[in-house]
């Protein structure tokens, strides 16, 4: 929808990792340096960790796209809490060893034979394991054993481990001592800096033909950083909704207010770009729908007004009731504004849908 309105050639902020949109932030540049160093060593483990949505998968996709297949064979598997034997079968399948009924000993022999054949061709082999925080100890031990395969004193297999931050904690466990001794490089992907938000967005937009429409104010970029903490996937989620709002409202300039409006909507529907704020103590009972909330608050207002009228001689109590009345009045105003905004948004979407249907009807008649 918004790609048509802004005449983009694609969708720049999809949540699915796409190495085509790889953006080299400072932390990703460091990660690439470590990966390059590790590849030059040709052995051991390289560990890359990062928060959910930090860009680990996109980074690896970029690396795989730059690998020369005439020099290096790379396969990638995603661990799903599989035990050691099952992980070996995933590795074997990645190496095109498709006999699923092989006993473990024969499967290891076939894997080693494959690695020897690769080495005789002058090829190195790289195994990339994503979601490494899900690996049980038995699977980690099998990976370590695979890294033992050698030919002429040279390692036959190099392994990249990608995981969420908790994998760093797992690495410090006593059962991981042997693996730690094999790790030659490690890096933790940090969130983007505030100064990187604008070039990140401009980079992704430029890849779909963006010509400056919409224009983003400097305050908008600051608001994006505040709402997402610089996590790339959060930025993508927020920007998709912002551009949708821009298309619905026909905006050609995106300012901080538009960003904050969308961020607030996302927090309200449980898809917040950042971690959802803790509810205020006074709002704990406000779980029903907006209409029910309005009725509830109005009832509370009526009760308090009657109480104040009956307690005019009690100064302290009157002050307390008046204070509560003012607080509930503020809540009522917020809820009414929220209700009006939701209704207006629905009207805009319905109008746009009607326009599209009518346009399609006209096109059919013309045909």
3-state SS of 262-298?
HHHHHHHCCCCCCCCCCCCHHHCCCCCCHHHHHHHHH
CA gap 188, 27 in Å, rounded: 8
Q: What's the pLDDT at 291?
A: 47
Residues 6 or more apart whose CB falls under 8 angstroms from that of 273 comprise: 227, 228, 234, 235, 237, 238, 263, 266
pLDDT of 91-141, one tens digit each?
A: 988 888 877 678 888 989 999 999 999 999 988 899 999 888 988 888 888
* Distance (Å, whole) CA 361 – CA 282: 51
89/269: higher pLDDT: 89
* pLDDT in the model for residue 327: 62
- The Cα 333–Cα 327 span in angstroms is 10
CB crowding 323-356: b at 16 or more within 10 Å, else e: ebbeebeebbeebeebeeeeeeeeeeeeeeeeee
Choice between 253 and 82, residue whose per-residue pLDDT is larger: 253
User: Using CA of residue 23, residue 27, residue 30, residue 35, what is the dihedral sign?
Assistant: negative
Q: Which of 3-7, 28-32, 353-357 has the lowest mean pLDDT?
A: 353-357
pLDDT at 314 over 90: no
DSSP calls for 197-241? HHHHHHHHHHTTT--S-SEE-HHHHHHHHHHHTT-HHHHHHHHHH
Q: What is the pLDDT of residue 254?
A: 95
Please check the confidence at residue 346 and state whether its pLDDT lies above 80: no
Q: Quick one: what percent of the chain has pLDDT higher than 90?
A: 36
SS (H, E, C) 42-110: CCCEEEEEECCCCCHHHHHHHHHHHCCCCCEEEEEEECCCCCHHHHHHHHHHHCCCCCCCCCHHHHHHH
pLDDT digits (tens, 9 = 90+) for 133-175: 988 888 888 998 998 898 888 889 999 999 999 988 888 888 8
- Looking at residue 331, its pLDDT comes to 65
User: Which burial class, exposed, middle or buried, applies to 158 when counting CB atoms under 10 A from its CB (0-12, 13-18, 19+)?
Assistant: buried
Helix (H) or strand (E) holding 127: strand 124-130
**Residue 211 confidence class, pLDDT cut points 50, 70, 90:** very high
pLDDT at 267: 86
pLDDT at 231: 95
Helix H or strand E encompassing 324? helix 315-366
CATH T-level assignment (fold) for domain 26-189: Rossmann fold (3.40.50)
- Taking phi first (over 0 means left), then psi (-120 to 50 degrees means alpha), and beta for anything else, what does residue 23 get? beta
Q: Does residue 270 surpass a pLDDT of 90?
A: no
pLDDT at 283: 39
Closest CA to 15 of 231, 305, 301, 280: 231
pLDDT digits (tens, 9 = 90+) for 173-204: 888 888 888 898 889 999 999 999 999 999 99
DSSP state of 15: S
Identity of the highest mean pLDDT range in 70-74, 87-91, 108-112, 201-205: 201-205
User: In terms of CATH architecture, what is 194-268?
Assistant: Orthogonal Bundle (1.10)
pLDDT of residue 9: 92
pLDDT surpasses 80 at 336? no
Residue 344: which pLDDT band, with cuts at 50, 70 and 90?
Answer: low
The pLDDT mean for the chain works out to 80
Question: Residues 213, 6: contact at Cβ < 8 Å?
Answer: yes
Position 72 pLDDT exceeds 80: yes
How far is residue 318's CA from residue 331's CA, in Å, rounded to a whole number?
20
pLDDT at 288: 42
């Amino acid at each position: 929808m918004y790609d048509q309105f802004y005449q983009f050639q694609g969708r720049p902020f999809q949540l699915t990792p796409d190495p085509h949109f790889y953006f080299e932030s400072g932390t990703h540049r460091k990660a690439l340096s470590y990966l390059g160093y590790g590849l030059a060593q040709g052995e051991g483990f390289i560990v890359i960790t990062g928060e959910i949505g930090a860009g680990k998968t996109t980074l690896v996709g970029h690396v795989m796209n730059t690998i020369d297949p005439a020099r290096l064979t790379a396969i990638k598997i995603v661990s799903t809490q599989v035990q050691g034997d099952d992980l070996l079968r995933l590795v074997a399948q990645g190496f095109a060893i498709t006999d699923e009924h092989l006993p473990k000993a024969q499967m290891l022999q076939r894997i080693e034979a494959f690695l020897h054949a690769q080495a005789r061709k002058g090829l190195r082999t790289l195994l990339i394991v994503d979601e490494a925080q899900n690996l049980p100890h038995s699977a980690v031990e099998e990976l370590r054993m695979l890294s033992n395969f050698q030919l002429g004193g040279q390692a036959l297999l190099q392994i990249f481990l990608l995981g969420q931050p908790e994998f760093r904690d797992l690495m410090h466990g006593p059962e991981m001592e042997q693996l730690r001794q094999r790790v030659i490089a490690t890096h933790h992907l940090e969130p983007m800096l505030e100064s990187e938000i604008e070039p990140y967005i401009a980079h992704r937009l430029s890849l779909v033909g963006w010509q400056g429409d919409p224009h983003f104010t400097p305050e908008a970029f600051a608001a994006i950083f505040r709402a997402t903490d610089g996590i790339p996937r959060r930025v993508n989620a927020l920007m998709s909704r912002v551009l949708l709002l821009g298309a619905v409202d026909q905006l050609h300039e995106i300012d901080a207010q538009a960003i904050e409006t969308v961020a607030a909507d996302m927090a309200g529907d449980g898809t917040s770009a950042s971690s959802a704020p803790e509810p205020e103590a006074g709002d704990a009972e406000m779980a029903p729908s907006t209409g029910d909330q309005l009725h509830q608050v109005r009832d509370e207002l009526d009760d308090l007004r009657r109480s104040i009228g009956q307690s005019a001689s009690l100064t302290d109590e009157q002050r307390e009731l008046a204070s509560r009345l003012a607080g509930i009045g503020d809540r009522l105003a917020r809820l009414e504004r929220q209700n009006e905004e939701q209704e207006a948004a629905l009207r805009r979407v319905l109008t746009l849908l009607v326009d599209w249907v009518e346009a399609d009807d006209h096109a059919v008649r013309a045909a």
